[in-house]
Amino acid sequence: MADWWDGFWATYNSAIFDVGISAMLALSIYVTLSCGLLSLANAAFMGIGAYAAALISMQTALPFPVALAAGVALPMLVALIIGIPTLRLSGVYLAMATLGFGEVVRVIVLNMDVTGGPMGLNGIPLKTEWWHIVLLLVAVLYFLARMRRSKIGRAFEAIKEDEVAARLMGIDVAAYKLLAFAIGAGIAGLAGALNAHYTFTIGPGNFDFERAVEILTMAVFGGTGNLIGPTLGGAILALLPEILRWFQDYRLAINGLILVLVILYLPQGIWDPRRIRSFLQRRRAA
């Protein structure tokens, strides 16, 4: 039994780690979507967190928790700086602006010696353990669950439903949008920091447009009406490449197809409590 487990873990540990990281990334964009913000900057924030944490681990003797903290703090700081002018936009204009920001980050990383340029960083210490991901994912879920039931969560929901009405109710819309943007950036940065410390190497291509679309697909696929949806969507889409290995070259096309199908036929995502309750009631009635 022990030999079987050792073989299984050696083969699939990266895929299992990816499940937790993907769930965090889906939750990061859930935060911005819960405030009515369609942002595609989370891949860039993930990259900033990954590079910040990796450089600290490679060039200093600071402990791993400090590297993780930097991986959270730096993306949040960047989000606060770019969010002030950017969050005046909405809808597709905000998506385009944040996508442009992601490309700016990628080009900067490509041309900096400290980040390894196009080759990226190699030899990152393998410090991420499975329990780090489980513990921090649970902490993120607990934090977001508490926030959702708080004044902040109610303000996010009001802004998402009707920004003008929320402003007339006395809600500081700009401040709450900036807060949602920063929290999402911090969670994405945490995912990037953890990811960098178990993949051994990172490069600019890991945080490009494809990753931005993938993060959005995870959240929309699972559903953004609650915390279970993004977590489930991230986990399923993380496992999909392992299940469909022969379609690996078409991963972006598959993600796009999933996104279209979900929007058309499951607009609330696969985890829609009302639809599930209705289905169970029909089954009991039958």
* SS3 call for 202: strand
Q: Is pLDDT of 1 > 60?
A: no
Q: Tell me which H or E stretch contains 201.
A: strand 201-202
The first and second tokens of residue 273, run together, are 């409590």
Beta bridge partners of 121: 202
Per the rule left: phi > 0, alpha: psi between -120 and 50, beta: everything else, 130 is alpha
When computed from its CA atoms, the radius of gyration of the chain, rounded to whole angstroms, is 19
CB-based contact 220:23 (threshold 8 Å): no
Classify residue 150 by burial, with Cβ atoms within 10 Å: 0-12, 13-18, 19+. Answer: exposed
Q: Which has the higher per-residue pLDDT, 254 or 22?
A: 22
Helices (H), the chain: 2-33, 42-59, 64-86, 91-110, 130-148, 151-161, 163-168, 173-199, 209-222, 228-243, 251-265, 273-285
Rounded Cα distance, 190 and 99, in Å: 20
Tens-place pLDDT, residues 124-146: 999 999 899 999 999 999 999 99
pLDDT reported for residue 119? 87
Displacement of CA 279 from its chain's centroid (Å): 30
How do residues 40-57 score in pLDDT, each as one tens digit?
999 999 999 999 999 999
pLDDT at 245 over 70: no
Please tell me the predicted confidence (pLDDT) of residue 124.
Answer: 93
Between residues 263 and 99, the one the model is more confident about: 99
Task: Compute the average pLDDT of residues 242-247.
Answer: 66
Q: Is the pLDDT of residue 246 over 70?
A: no
For residue 25, how far is the Cα from the chain centroid? 2
pLDDT reported for residue 48: 95
Provide the mean pLDDT of the chain. Answer: 87
CB count within 10 Å of CB 261 equals 11
User: Is residue 74 scored above 90 in pLDDT?
Assistant: yes
Confidence of residue 103 (pLDDT cuts 50, 70, 90): confident
Residue, of 18 and 9, whose pLDDT is higher: 18
pLDDT for the residue 197? 93
Does residue 258 have a pLDDT over 90? no
Can you tell me the distance from the alpha carbon of 63 to that of 131, in angstroms, rounded to the nearest whole number?
Answer: 17
Report residue 181 as tokens.
Answer: 């943007």
Here the contacts of 163-168 (C-beta below 8 Å, separation 24 or greater) are 163/36, 163/90
Please tell me whether residue 200 adopts helix, strand or coil conformation: coil
In this prediction, residues 66-85 reach a mean pLDDT of: 95
pLDDT at 10: 61
Give the C-alpha distances (Å, rounded to integers) separating 48 from 60, 71, 123, 157. 18, 7, 18, 28
Q: Are the CB atoms for 269 and 233 separated by under 8 Å?
A: yes
> Average of pLDDT values for 191-205?
92
What per-residue confidence (pLDDT) applies to 2? 61
For 100, the token pair is 């442009």
- Give the per-residue pLDDT at 87: 87
Mean pLDDT of 214-238: 88
The structure's pTM equals: 0.91
Q: Which residue has the tokens 């990037």?
A: 192
Instruction: Please name the residue that has the structure tokens 């700081």.
Output: 77
Contacts of 47 (CB under 8 A, 6+ apart): 105, 106, 109, 192, 202, 204, 206, 207
